[in-house]
Amino acid sequence: MINATRKWIFLKISGALLVPLMIWFLLNLIAIYDQDFMSVRNFFINTISKFLFGIFIINSYFFSALSISEVFEDYIKNDQIKNVANKLLSISAVVIPLITIILLNKL
């Protein structure tokens, strides 16, 4: 399979998965918005919420990294700069969700 086709398929699948996760997150954010710290903490201690939020964070960064790498491919003409930008983007798309999930597990 061509690399561009694979990226397109991953972009569509991750985007489709992101819609129900975003709806779930927004509904829960509305529910805990005006609550005290313990209510918010209890939400993130719940195993199902922690799992779904982790999947949401990982999928969000995966989707954004794929989208931004396409922008790099289209608008950056220098191959060295494009490669460095894509590598930094890939590293941040792994490190930031990983740090978020580790910190959530320490609650």
Q: pLDDT tens digit string along 81-95? A: 999 999 999 999 999
Q: Spell out the domain ranges in the chain.
A: 3-105
- Structure pTM? 0.84
Which ranges of 1-107 does DSSP label H, i.e. alpha helix? 3-32, 37-45, 47-75, 79-105
Judge contact between 73 and 82, C-beta under 8 A: yes
The architecture (CATH level 2) of 3-105 comes to: Up-down Bundle (1.20)
Q: pLDDT of 50-74, one tens digit each?
A: 999 999 999 999 999 999 999 998 9
**Closest C-alpha to 54, from 105, 16, 93, 106:** 105
Measure the CA–CA gap between 53 and 24, rounded to whole angstroms: 9
